[in-house]
Structures are given as C-alpha cells and as structure tokens.
Amino acid sequence: MSSVSSETPTIPLSEALKQTARVTVLGAGAWGTALARLALTNGNQVQIWSRRGPVDLATAVANADMVVSAISMKGVSALAGQLKASKLSASTILVTATKGLDPETTRTPSKIFQDTFPENPIVVLSGPNLSKEIDGGLPAATVVASTDLEASARVQQVYSSETFRIYTSPDPVGAELGGTLKNVIAIAVGVCDGLKLGSNAKAGLITRAIPEMIRVGMHMGAQMETFYGLSGLGDLLATCDGSLSRNYRVGYGLAQGKNLDQILAELGSTAEGVNTTHVLIDIANREGIPIPIARQVHRLLRGVVTPQEAVGGLMERELKPEACDLQAKN
C-alpha cells in the first residue's frame, strides 16, 4: 500500500491559488461547464470548446498548458483522434474527467489518451463531484491521479480553491474505474430505492458493491486502496444518495416500470452507467470476474428480468463467507 510520507510534497493553498495556467476544457455539458467555471474562478485563462461551437479544436488547444476533456464516453475515442490531428504540444497536460468505458475496445478514457499521446502527461480527475452542487458553490473534494507526479501536482495547484479540495494519487486506473463502476451500482441503488426496499437493503447493496468494484479494478491494474478513497467509496456514496445522480434516476425509473428509452429521453443528458454495464459484462465474461450486482443490472437494462426478479437474483445466490477472494474467478 502506498502511503503519504514526509517526502510527499505539500503546498499551502494560498500558494496554489497563485499558480495559473492556460486551460482548455473540451465539452460544454454539465461537467465541462462546471470544470471551466472552477478554473476561471481560480484566475486561470480558460477556453471552452464544444463540437457545435464556433472555435475549431486545433485553435482551441493551440496554446493550452492543460486540456481538460469532459465529454461523454461515446465521443472520447473520436475526439482523441481529432486532437492528434491538431498537433498538440507534447508538454500539454491532458486531464480526463469522463467516467466510462469504450464500447469498441473496453479501454478507459485515460488509456485511450495514453495510447494516442504517449509523450504527453495524462491525469485523471475523479471523485464525488455532482456538478449541480459544484455549480451552487458547495464544497467538494476530488482526486487527480497520474503516474506523472509533477503533472498531477500541477493540476492540483491550478484547480484547488477554498471550495474545491484536491488530493493527488499515483493510481490513475483505480481513480478512473472507481468513478466509472459506481455508475452501474448507482443504477442498482436507484432500483432499490424505487422499490422502497429500505435502508438495510441499500446499505447491503452499497457495501457489497465495493468488493465487486475492487475485483474488476485489480484485474485492470488498479490498486485496492484507491477504491476506499474519494474516487471509489466517496463517489459511490454521492451517486447513490439520490436524484442528483442521473444513473440513480435510471434505476429509480426502471423500478417504477418506465422503459429505458423513456427514462433516458426524460434525463436529456448522459447516464454513463448504461453503456458501462454492457462493456463491463464483456470484460467480466472475457476475464471470468464475478460481478453479481452488475449482472443483474445488465439483465434489467436488457429487459430480461423485472426489478423484483433482479432483487431475487441477488438474494437467492449460493451462500458464502463475507470476506471472499478479491481476485476470484468465476
């Protein structure tokens, strides 16, 4: 387990507030707009690019010290290709804030950026960050994770403020997967609340989700302890808390008997957990990873079971000890 030592660099917030950068945010949706506003409030020079906006991508990123990608998963792979064509400087830090998995390749966004830009520092930003609360100026904490410690420290300094507290981590895969996998669990918890199954059931579901997330994470190269931090447990708690989460609302709607297309149309914005569930099942089938909660969410999303049958499917499995092998195979 990596721990904070006396060697870990720290910096007073007042010093961090003096550090500014030229930041380009890609994506003008809920999260991109919130991240652009946070950077602007800190005195950075900020540009926001959107695929339907007036500025072309190459111009938007030309002089950026930092490019922050906050678009939906479905656009990440194509965007990385477009960025490559825009001849990004090798010193530009690429920050990814998307929480999803690529349906074609099962890669995470940071892996896509790393494969496309092997020379650039890649940083994952992930944590319990419901954009509506951040837009309302409420305090929040998050994680910036990278194997390039200098780059994550730079992002920490540029984004930290009195209302946005940022921790660094050396585990980008773990930070990214925490934020991604919790969306699947948020759908399950939305179902649990929609069916009014009570606090015991909800606590049981959230707690049992943690070893499930860790099993997937460890197969994909993440560190176990990251899942007990802000980007894992922290984001799980925020997203499973209620209606500010779109993924939770998907589950809640399904429990009320609405169909998925209707729910997604009503949401009008991205609920990544739906796509993530499908990709996760592909990964689990390929690697033999037991993911019982995600499997029931998958069956429910495909209309193979009713919400009540999904609950039964979880409760009626074979009996086992609580502490089970986190690297178990099916």
Ligand X SMILES: NC(=O)C1=CN([C@@H]2O[C@H](COP(=O)(O)OP(=O)(O)OC[C@H]3O[C@@H](n4cnc5c(N)ncnc54)[C@H](O)[C@@H]3O)[C@@H](O)[C@H]2O)C=CC1
Ligand Y SMILES: O=C(CO)COP(=O)(O)O
| Residue 32 sits in the site that holds ligand X (CB under 6 A) | yes
6 is in an annotated binding site: no
Binding mask 52-71 for ligand Y (x = CB under 6 A): --------------------
The DSSP symbol for 92 reads: P
Q: Is the dihedral of CA 141, 171, 147, 32 positive or negative?
A: negative
Quote the least distance from Cβ 247 to ligand X, whole Å. 8
Instruction: Name the burial class of residue 2, with classes exposed (0-12), middle (13-18) and buried (19+) by CB atoms within 10 angstroms of its CB.
Output: exposed
Buried b (16+ CB within 10 A) or exposed e, 10-33: eeeeeebeebebbbbbbbbebbbb
Question: Considering just the CA atoms, what is the radius of gyration of the chain in Å?
Answer: 20
Binding test (CB under 6 A) with ligand X, winner from 28, 141, 201, 326: 28
Residue from the set 22, 99, 111, 295 that interacts with ligand Y by CB under 6 A: 99
Pair of tokens at residue 289: 């990873």
Which whole-number Å values give the CA distances from 251 to 190, 242, 255, in the listed order?
A: 4, 11, 6
Q: How far is the CB of 18 from ligand X (least distance, A)?
A: 27
| Token couple for 69 | 């990608």
217 lines the binding site for ligand X (CB under 6 A): no
Is 182 a catalytic site residue?
Answer: yes
Nearest-10 Cα torsion for 285, 288, 292, 296? 10
* 37 is annotated as contributing to ligand binding: no
* Contact window for ligand Y (CB under 6 A) among 54-62, 147-155, 244-252, 277-285: 244-252
Query: Catalytic pick from 74, 132, 182, 196?
Result: 182
The annotation status of 320 as a binding-site residue, yes or no, is no
Please, which of residues 254-283 interact with ligand Y by CB under 6 A? 272
Among candidates 170, 300, 320, 311, which has minimal Cα distance to 247? 300
Among ligand X, ligand Y, none, partner that 24 touches (CB below 5 to 8 angstroms by kind): none
- Alpha-carbon torsion (10, 14, 19, 24), positive or negative: positive
Give the residue, chosen from 61, 64, 79, 145, that forms a contact with ligand X under the rule CB under 6 A: 79
* Binding region for ligand X (CB under 6 A): 27-32, 50-51, 70-75, 78-79, 97-100, 129-131, 269-270, 272
Binding residues (CB under 6 A) for ligand Y: these are 99, 128-130, 179, 183, 186, 235, 238-239, 245-247, 272
Which residues does the annotation mark as catalytic?
182
Binding site feature residues for NADPH: 31, 51-52, 99, 131, 246, 272
